[in-house]
Structure 1
Amino acid sequence: MKVVAVCACTVGIAHTYMAQKAIEEECARRGFDYKVETQGGMGIDNELDEDEIADADYALLAIDVGIEGDERFDDKRDEGKCLTVGSADVIADAKKVIDELIAL
């Protein structure tokens, strides 16, 4: 199972990186391949390219604001394989969010 994700909060500092950590820890616990892009106060880190998104089974957007390159996820949305939640949702219960994602 391969998951790609983007995290972005309103300020771009704490919640962005806390959500990233929560997603990475839960995916690692499940033995998933994963890559998490952050769009925070330091700019875009670990940027996902089109091939990585296309090759992923699921895309998770843990975002509280609009993100750069949102259109990259249109195909995953069309396939019903993209879940958008708030960053606080992932921080509070990453297990539940990942369960929701793979139930798509």
Structure 2
Amino acid sequence: MKIVGIAACTAGIAHTYIAKEKLVNAAIKAGHEIHVETQGTIGTENIIPEEALKDADVAVIAADVKVSGKERFKGIKIIEVPTEVVIKSPNKFIEKIEEIVEKG
């Protein structure tokens, strides 16, 4: 499965990067490709490449605040959760995404 996503927290610092790291590690462990962009106090980092957007099966938004650029996910299944969900149970979250994508 090919996953793209955005991580963003209220302060735009710690939880943003922890959520990204946990999500990436869990997805790779499960055998998926993933690219996660961060949006925080220092701006947007690791912007999702067009190629990744074009090939994505699902978009994950792990955020506690409004994120920008959601229009890029048009035509892609979007799953939105607070950063806490990804931080506390990243492996279970990836399993849930797998179920959702399989159901279509």
- Structure 2 length normalisation: TM-score? 0.88
Give, in whole Å, the separation in 1 of the partners of 2:51 and 2:66.
22
Q: CA deviation at 1:7?
A: 0.2
- Which residue in the other structure is 1:52 paired with? 52
- Which residue in the other structure is 1:90 paired with? 86
Q: CA deviation at 1:49?
A: 3.6
Q: Which amino acid aligns with 1:15?
A: H
- Which residue in the other structure is 2:30 paired with? 30
Q: Which amino acid aligns with 2:33?
A: D
Q: How does 1:1-104 map to 2 (within 5 A)?
A: 1-76=1-76, 81-104=77-100
Moved more, 47-56 or 21-30: 47-56
Task: Render the CA deviation track for 1:71-99: whole Å, top value 9, x for unaligned.
Answer: 112321xxxx2210000110000112111
Q: How many residues get paired?
A: 100
SS at match of 1:22: helix
| Matched-pair identity in % | 39
SS at match of 2:48: coil
- Structure 1 length normalisation: TM-score? 0.88
SS at match of 1:99: helix
SS at match of 1:54: helix
In 2, are the aligned partners of 1:7 and 1:19 still within 8 Å (CA)?
yes
Q: Which amino acid aligns with 2:99?
A: A
Provide runs of 4+ in structure 1 moved above 6 Å: none
Structure 1: gaps (5+ residues) = none
Give, in whole Å, the separation in 2 of the partners of 1:46 and 1:70.
15
SS at match of 2:65: coil
Give, in whole Å, the separation in 1 of the partners of 2:19 and 2:86.
6
